[in-house]
């Protein structure tokens, strides 16, 4: 009897543990899904900003105005005022047009961080944003565009800040900013959710002009955060959810305070008016990676009810014998899964080098090519092989040849990002898939890899070199054509003397 009771307790414990694990896994999965949605929408805003910058801003007639303004010391002068009016008139129509597509702010800055003109608040200018807008300092220092969320003097925004050059000299900066609504609208229109945008109250008080703070109100749920009054709802479902949660007890959210301090994405399950809600908190970080705000996503979710129902049914219907059988099958089932996964891993791994093999590479490139061509993301591939590798085998033997292959893989792997996919194509040939990477950046990486190998001293063979071909997938290109181009580029590098990078 004692053993029977003990087994029942053990079985019930594992059933409960499994229930909590499923709940936790679901929360983690939904958190990742919403995080991906946020990042995708932020990326689309960045692409939209690039179009605005290239089409309207990065023009000589615009930049010349900024150049003239940067040379005027008296910002109250008539000449300075005239230049502001001239720039405003030149871009007014474009700014108003792009506001229909979510553009919030177009803000020009002088090289000393002085605000030249805010299209959102043209009457407010001349203040220095040094120490307030880190994005400007980064653009000023590195002379490259920066994209991040940031709170300024007048508005917060998802900003894309660009350097302005004239004759190779930095003459100013401009940021193209979008309101949180631009991200919220895309998600609320696609899913039955309501989204709040909450911002750290201390940052609002510290950064915004005092008269601009009236556009924010203290959250009735999250005491340390403000809510932007301009945030809207974009679907009937969102409005219904908003009304349902209006009188929620803020004490229910005490459990999230610790997570706020960690500044990480997370999700919880709460019952509101006897209805299960998935509430996801997606952090919004500034240019330094500090969390400044959160998207709080409320989603009525029946999954939690299903999980609880299943849990109760199992508890009520399980007997000792059924539980025992279930436990045996459960263990056997997972062993089979592990075995199949192990076999799959073996079938997709190059036994010598430990990286992906040709089969795994082909599956991966087909998938990435499909994603790239569907969503317009850049996809580049590097094909390289080891120069004169046959001589290494002939002179030093196959053991040394194997050593060289493994060492090359080790060196190259150390230079790649976690998102890059490295595979052995066959023999001494290797492939590298570079997601979200333009040809220019792929060429830079290829050249770096070539130099790293060239300067590395191998045992016995001393120094070796590699030849590389680099290509970017075209929007209408099939995989076979893409491979053919890569092969031609590699052989071109060989014909031109090896130890070089060839690209189109």
- Amino acid 294: pLDDT: 94
Residue 288 in tokens: 């330094």
- The yes-or-no verdict on residue 335 having pLDDT over 80 is no
Residue 362 in tokens: 């082909």
- The yes-or-no verdict on residue 249 having pLDDT over 60 is yes
**Tally of structural domains, the chain:** 2
Q: Does any domain span residue 10?
A: no
pLDDT average, residue stretch 362-378: 94
What confidence category does residue 320 fall into, taking pLDDT thresholds of 50, 70 and 90? low
Q: Does any domain span residue 402?
A: yes
Among the candidates 144, 178, 212, a domain finishes at 178
- The yes-or-no verdict on residue 329 having pLDDT over 60 is no
Contact 15, 318 (CB under 8 A): yes
pLDDT in tens, 101-127: 889 999 999 999 999 999 999 999 999
pLDDT in tens, 175-229: 999 999 999 999 999 999 999 999 999 999 998 888 888 889 988 888 889 998 8
- The yes-or-no verdict on residue 261 having pLDDT over 70 is yes
Q: Does any domain span residue 5?
A: no
CA gap 430, 414 in Å, rounded: 15
Contact 200, 293 (CB under 8 A): yes
CATH of the domain at 123: 3.30.450.20
pLDDT average, residue stretch 138-163: 93
What confidence category does residue 2 fall into, taking pLDDT thresholds of 50, 70 and 90? low
What confidence category does residue 319 fall into, taking pLDDT thresholds of 50, 70 and 90? low
pLDDT average, residue stretch 260-278: 87
What confidence category does residue 408 fall into, taking pLDDT thresholds of 50, 70 and 90? very high
State the SS3 of 60-108. HHHHHHHHHHHCCCCCCCHHHHHHHHHHHHHHHHHHHHHHCCCEEEEEE
pLDDT average, residue stretch 11-26: 87
pLDDT in tens, 410-447: 999 999 999 999 999 999 999 999 999 999 999 999 99
CA distance readout (Å), 80 to 47, 92, 93, 119, 173:
32, 18, 21, 16, 17
Residue 370 in tokens: 């499909």
CA gap 295, 317 in Å, rounded: 41
pLDDT in tens, 25-37: 999 999 999 999 9
- Amino acid 4: pLDDT: 61
- The yes-or-no verdict on residue 1 having pLDDT over 70 is no
Q: Angle, nearest 10°, between helix axes 479-495 and 358-375?
A: 110
State the SS3 of 456-500. CCECCCECCCEEEEEEECCCCCCHHHHHHHHHHHHHHHHHCCCCC
Residue 118 backbone dihedrals phi, psi, to 5 degrees:
-105, 115
Q: Does any domain span residue 160?
A: yes
Instruction: Look at residues 416, 279, 404, 316 and name the one whose alpha carbon lies nearest to residue 356.
Output: 416
Q: Does any domain span residue 46?
A: no
Q: Comparing 190-204, 210-224, 455-469, 478-492, which segment has the lowest mean pLDDT?
A: 210-224
Note down the domain range covering 156.
58-178
State the SS3 of 361-392. HHHHHHHHHHHHHHHCCCEEEEEEEECCHHHH
Among the candidates 178, 200, 219, a domain finishes at 178
pLDDT in tens, 128-145: 999 889 999 999 999 999
Q: Does any domain span residue 336?
A: no
Residues tagged active-site: 428
Q: Would the pTM of this model clear 0.75, i.e. be above it?
A: no
**Cα angle for residues 350, 353, 357 (degrees, 5° grid):** 25
- The yes-or-no verdict on residue 327 having pLDDT over 80 is no
Among the candidates 129, 157, 178, a domain finishes at 178
- The yes-or-no verdict on residue 318 having pLDDT over 80 is no
Q: Does any domain span residue 145?
A: yes
Instruction: Look at residues 222, 220, 269 and name the one whose alpha carbon lies nearest to residue 247.
Output: 220
Instruction: Look at residues 243, 197, 192, 205 and name the one whose alpha carbon lies nearest to residue 222.
Output: 197
Residue 338 backbone dihedrals phi, psi, to 5 degrees:
-60, -40
Q: Comparing 58-62, 261-265, 401-405, 481-485, which segment has the lowest mean pLDDT?
A: 261-265
- Amino acid 3: pLDDT: 61
Q: Does any domain span residue 245?
A: no
Q: Comparing 309-318, 379-388, 431-440, which segment has the lowest mean pLDDT?
A: 309-318
- Amino acid 264: pLDDT: 86
Beta carbons within 10 angstroms of residue 192's beta carbon: 15
Residue 261 in tokens: 């301090």
CATH of the domain at 497: 3.30.70.270
> How do beta strands 169-178 and 103-109 pair?
antiparallel
- The yes-or-no verdict on residue 328 having pLDDT over 70 is no
For 347, what's the count of Cα atoms within 13 Å in the CB-facing half-sphere?
Answer: 9
Instruction: Look at residues 221, 266, 370, 271 and name the one whose alpha carbon lies nearest to residue 30.
Output: 266
pLDDT in tens, 43-102: 999 999 999 999 999 999 999 999 999 999 899 999 999 999 999 999 999 999 998 888
Answer with the residue of higher pLDDT: 218 or 250: 218
Contact 93, 119 (CB under 8 A): no
Contact 348, 414 (CB under 8 A): no
pLDDT average, residue stretch 137-166: 93
Q: Angle, nearest 10°, between helix axes 320-347 and 2-52?
A: 40
pLDDT in tens, 218-240: 888 888 899 988 899 999 999 99
What is the biggest distance separating any 2 CA atoms in the chain, rounded to whole angstroms?
Answer: 97
Instruction: Look at residues 150, 178, 176 and name the one whose alpha carbon lies nearest to residue 163.
Output: 176
Mean pLDDT of the chain: 90
- Amino acid 321: pLDDT: 61
Beta carbons within 10 angstroms of residue 56's beta carbon: 18
CA gap 30, 266 in Å, rounded: 9
Q: How many residues does the chain have?
A: 504
Beta strands in 184-318 (DSSP E): 194-200, 216-218, 225-228, 266-272, 275-285, 291-300
- Calculate the CA 15 to chain-centre distance: 37
């Amino acid at each position: 009897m004692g053993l029977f009771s003990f087994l029942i307790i053990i079985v019930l414990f594992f059933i409960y543990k499994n229930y909590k694990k499923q709940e936790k896994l679901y929360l983690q999965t939904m958190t990742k899904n919403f995080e991906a949605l946020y990042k995708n929408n932020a990326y689309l805003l960045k692409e939209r900003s690039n179009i605005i910058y290239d089409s309207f801003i990065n023009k000589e007639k615009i930049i010349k105005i900024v150049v003239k303004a940067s040379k005027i010391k008296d910002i109250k002068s008539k000449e300075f005022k005239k230049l502001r009016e001239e720039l405003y008139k030149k871009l007014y129509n474009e700014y108003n047009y792009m506001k229909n597509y979510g553009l919030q702010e177009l803000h020009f800055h002088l090289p000393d961080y002085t605000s030249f003109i805010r299209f959102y608040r043209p009457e407010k200018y001349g203040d220095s944003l040094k120490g307030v807008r880190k994005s400007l300092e980064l653009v000023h220092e590195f002379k490259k565009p920066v994209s991040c969320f940031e709170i300024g003097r007048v508005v917060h925004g998802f900003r894309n800040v660009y350097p302005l050059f004239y004759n190779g000299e930095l003459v100013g900066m401009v940021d193209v900013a979008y309101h949180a609504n631009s991200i919220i609208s895309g998600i609320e229109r696609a899913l039955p959710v309501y989204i709040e945008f909450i911002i750290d109250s201390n940052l609002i008080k510290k950064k915004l002009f005092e008269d601009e703070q009236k556009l924010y109100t203290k959250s009735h749920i999250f005491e340390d955060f403000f809510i932007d009054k301009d945030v809207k709802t974009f679907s009937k479902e969102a409005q219904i959810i908003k009304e349902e949660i209006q009188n929620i007890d803020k004490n229910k959210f005490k459990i999230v305070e610790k997570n706020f301090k960690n500044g990480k994405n997370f999700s919880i399950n709460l019952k509101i008016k006897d209805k299960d809600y998935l509430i996801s908190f997606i952090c919004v970080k500034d240019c330094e990676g500090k969390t400044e705000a959160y998207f709080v996503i409320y989603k009525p979710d029946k999954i939690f009810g299903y999980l609880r129902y299943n849990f109760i049914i199992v508890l009520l219907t399980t007997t000792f014998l059924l539980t025992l059988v279930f436990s045996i099958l459960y263990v056997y089932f997972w062993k089979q899964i592990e075995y199949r996964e192990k076999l799959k891993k073996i079938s997709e791994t190059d036994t010598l080098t430990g990286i992906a093999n040709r089969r795994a590479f082909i599956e991966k490139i087909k998938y990435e090519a499909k994603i790239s061509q569907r969503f317009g993301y850049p996809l580049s591939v590097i094909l390289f092989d080891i120069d004169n590798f046959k001589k290494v085998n002939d002179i030093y033997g196959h053991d040394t040849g194997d050593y060289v292959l493994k060492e090359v893989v080790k060196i190259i792997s150390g230079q790649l990002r976690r998102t890059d996919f490295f595979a052995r194509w066959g023999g001494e040939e290797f492939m590298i898939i570079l997601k979200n990477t333009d040809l220019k950046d792929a060429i830079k990486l290829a050249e770096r890899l070539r130099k790293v190998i060239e300067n590395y001293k191998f045992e016995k063979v001393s120094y070796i070199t590699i030849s590389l071909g680099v290509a970017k997938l075209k929007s209408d290109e099939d995989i076979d054509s893409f491979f053919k181009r890569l092969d031609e580029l590699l052989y071109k590098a060989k014909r031109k003397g090896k130890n070089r990078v060839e690209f189109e």
